[in-house]
Structure 1
Amino acid sequence: MTAVFEAAPFFANVAAASPHVQFVYDLAAGRVVFVNAAYERVLGGRPDQVNDELPGLLQRIHPDDRAYLAHYWRLWQRGRARDEVEIRLQMAGEPDQWFCLTPYYEATAGGGALLGGTLRDTSVLKRYQENADRFNSRKNATLEILSHDLSGAFIMVQQIVQYLGEEVPVPAGSRVPEMLRVLEETSRESVKLIRDFVSLEFLAAAGTDLKRSRVDAGAVLREPLDQLQRAQALLGHRVEYALPAAPVYAALDVNKFTQVLINLVANAVKFTPDGGTVWVSVDAGPDGVRVQVRDEGIGIPADLQPHLFERFTKARRPGLRGEPSTGLGLALCKTIVEWHGGTLSFTSAEGQGSTFTATVPQVR
């Protein structure tokens, strides 16, 4: 037999017991008509004074989030806010509090509306995610740099072996040719193993679900760029970067988008002669947030350019120092950028370098 109960009191009790802030706002009256006890514990207010405290609470919204939330509020009033939204509240002398707002809209008789919502404190989760993103950025940049560094050493061994085989006379019956052959094959297999490992790491990360959040693109890309700059300097390569002076927001899966950046910089270094420079810039362009990677390398021949973003493309070429190519990197970069609702394009001329531009929608 189906149980029958009074739904309204039941759900009111559920809301009252929730660890998250639950509230109902009467749009016509311009007042909060319900807020649960979690309001006091989470936001430090008094439920019976919520309407008096509301202006002060709104003043705590992070300045960079206000225009974004004003746009969201306009949608919410018309019942068009469907997605959850992240909010930062400033705390005097403490780190910002992060909240996730789940909206609800219900029209009432007489043309009014009730705006309900759940406000979850996600500060701990957000800081955990930021730390994980920083760790992944360092890991991915380090792997890429190590792969080039180790690959370069093994490639040099191959070159020395080839030189010795051509220039040094070997007595009859000597085992030296066989030893040189083994050394060359081992070096070649080691280079392949290193590059395959880095490629598999990129493929594995690209295959996971997209987890986007609204972030300051310059701030989240600063650390991997700094890591790339310092590490490439140890290898004798120059990487320069410029970030916007003011925050520029985009909805990014930081880990995946960082891998796109690392891959584009690694490709630029791969085809730039020793002593050359790779430039990276992040800015707000007319079409969205732009990340440009420009080099002064050998450029891309015109006949290869139409095939550059194809999987296992015939446009793949070894780097100037013998670095191998799987033909997958740029195709995956393009896919990841498109997952973000953006575009990946390039301009290049043989002998004059290349510029790759990833553009994703800007979030106000």
Structure 2
Amino acid sequence: MLDFAALFLAQANASAQVQFVYDIAAGRVIFVNHAYEQVLLGTDASVNAELPALLARVHPDDRGYLAEHWARWVRGEQLGEINVRLQRGDESAQWFAAIPYYHPAAAATGPLLVCTLHDISAAKHHQANSDLFNSRKNVALEVLSHDASGAFVMVEQLAQYLREELPEAGQSQVQLLQMLENTSRESVKMIRDLINTEFAAAVTTNLKIDRVDLGAVLRDPLEQLRLGHELLGHHFAYTLPAAAVYVNLDVNKFTQVVINLVSNAMKFTPHEGHVRVAVVRLADRARVEVSDDGIGIPAAMLPHVFERFTRARRPGLRGEETIGLGLSLCKTIVEWHEGAVSVTSTEGEGSVFTVEVPLAEGFGSRLPDQLVEAVTFH
């Protein structure tokens, strides 16, 4: 007959991932595999004595999050994977995915919590680089589209003006001007189609939700937007909260929403106008406001701005075209994040688009002391 306990121990000790078994009633670890020594640089026999020092390395922003989930895990509730960071001596972070399993009361012990810790530092690093690349690519496309579209619109308008104001021009000159006008118009359409295609492609990929600091993930794309629009002579500014604000996001999709809202604001703001982004923390939500002092939205259009193929669509001040899908897709993405998007506007004075998403678990109101204490595993 197979000795399943021995088989489990052999399999666990052969694993490269840290695995431990926690006796909930006794409040102590009763087993940890050999990977503990290689990954966390501890000693198997001293794991309980080493726990306080190990838990002191949990990133401060993750302690309430871990405490809240641990309190549920030891009751057998919400046994989903969570990602937490351990700080290193060199101030870098080591990311772990904690995957728990609750085992009800056994004959020899009370209920047990079995947990595997996967080191996902490399995956987190690659994901952060991918998100950064995508956000910079999307910002570059949006900024260039404004610059290039504006130039082509001007060429189109000049060609049209010359064709109308030079009645004595020969047929060949008229044809050349008509060709220049058509080419410019098609170029603007091609640029906007490219942007819309990129945005639509981002929407069709599966959601990949991570617990992230909203200010941290928006800082780089907002700064890229500021630098890009500054080169074009536009007025763009942003403010971020001083402290971390954690939310559950698909970083690429949510960043694209903010970029799209900024682009939309730029379309309807005169060259001398201003566009601003403010990220703030509320009691149980995070808010992103994109405001401008542009031409505003007529009152009759306001109820329709988030509709698919909305009747409220209109060309931008510099001739930017729209297919009426941008704000509808923004609304869809925000709602996927259990959030809401709204707009207030006064014609001739400007508009404010507001996006709100819930704060991540363990980051809302102050956690009760007993949950904070749960991070000590006692």
Q: Do both share a fold (TM > 0.5)?
A: yes
Question: Per-residue deviation at 1:70?
Answer: 1.1
8 Å CA contact 2:160–2:178 kept in 1: the answer is no
Q: Kindly provide the amino acid, as one letter, of the partner of residue 306 in structure 1.
A: P
Q: Kindly provide the amino acid, as one letter, of the partner of residue 231 in structure 2.
A: L
Report whether the alignment pairs 1:306 with 2:306: no
- Alignment partner of 2:120 out of 122, 126, 130: 122
Question: Per-residue deviation at 1:114?
Answer: 0.6
Report whether the alignment pairs 1:293 with 2:290: yes
Cα distance in 2 between the residues matched to 1:243 and 1:63: 20
Cα distance in 2 between the residues matched to 1:200 and 1:174: 38
**Total equivalences in the alignment:** 360
The alignment partner of 1:225 has SS state of: helix
Cα distance in 2 between the residues matched to 1:109 and 1:8: 14
Cα distance in 2 between the residues matched to 1:236 and 1:116: 59
What does residue 131 of structure 1 align with?
129
Question: Per-residue deviation at 1:193?
Answer: 0.7
What does residue 155 of structure 1 align with?
153
Question: Per-residue deviation at 1:174?
Answer: 3.6
TM-score normalised by L of structure 1: 0.96
The alignment partner of 1:175 has SS state of: helix
Cα distance in 1 between the residues matched to 2:115 and 2:37: 16
| CA 45–108 in structure 1, closer or farther in 2 if over 3 Å, else same | same
Report whether the alignment pairs 1:12 with 2:9: yes
What does residue 370 of structure 2 align with?
none
Cα distance in 1 between the residues matched to 2:24 and 2:79: 17
What does residue 34 of structure 2 align with?
37
What does residue 93 of structure 1 align with?
90
Report whether the alignment pairs 1:104 with 2:105: no
What does residue 270 of structure 1 align with?
267
- Alignment partner of 2:320 out of 318, 323, 338: 323
Cα distance in 1 between the residues matched to 2:3 and 2:198: 54
Cα distance in 1 between the residues matched to 2:183 and 2:19: 64
Cα distance in 2 between the residues matched to 1:285 and 1:254: 20
**Could you give the per-residue CA deviations for residues 107-154 of structure 1, whole angstroms, max 9, x where no partner exists?**
215893211111011111101111111111100000111111111111
Aligned ranges 1:197-216 → 2 under 5 Å: 197-216=194-213
Cα distance in 1 between the residues matched to 2:31 and 2:284: 42
Q: Kindly provide the amino acid, as one letter, of the partner of residue 348 in structure 1.
A: S
What does residue 257 of structure 1 align with?
254
What does residue 371 of structure 2 align with?
none
Q: Kindly provide the amino acid, as one letter, of the partner of residue 227 in structure 1.
A: Q
Cα distance in 2 between the residues matched to 1:323 and 1:96: 44
Question: Per-residue deviation at 1:94?
Answer: 4.3
Cα distance in 2 between the residues matched to 1:293 and 1:151: 22
The alignment partner of 2:221 has SS state of: helix
Gaps of 5+ in 1: none
Q: Kindly provide the amino acid, as one letter, of the partner of residue 110 in structure 2.
A: G
The alignment partner of 1:155 has SS state of: helix
Cα distance in 2 between the residues matched to 1:82 and 1:314: 46
8 Å CA contact 1:28–1:113 kept in 2: the answer is yes
Percent of aligned pairs with the same amino acid: 59
- Alignment partner of 2:139 out of 129, 138, 141: 141
Cα distance in 2 between the residues matched to 1:123 and 1:287: 29
Q: Cα RMSD over matched residues?
A: 1.3
Cα distance in 2 between the residues matched to 1:286 and 1:34: 41
TM-score normalised by L of structure 2: 0.93
What does residue 352 of structure 1 align with?
349
What does residue 168 of structure 1 align with?
166
- Alignment partner of 2:242 out of 242, 245, 248: 245
8 Å CA contact 1:317–1:325 kept in 2: the answer is yes
Q: For CA contacts below 8 A with separation 6 or more, give which structure has more relative contact order.
A: 2
Question: Per-residue deviation at 1:74?
Answer: 1.2
Cα distance in 1 between the residues matched to 2:333 and 2:357: 11
Question: Per-residue deviation at 1:235?
Answer: 1.4
Cα distance in 1 between the residues matched to 2:217 and 2:106: 47
Cα distance in 2 between the residues matched to 1:123 and 1:232: 35
- Alignment partner of 2:222 out of 197, 202, 225: 225
What does residue 282 of structure 1 align with?
279
**Could you give the per-residue CA deviations for residues 216-262 of structure 1, whole angstroms, max 9, x where no partner exists?**
10011000000001101111211110000000000111111110000
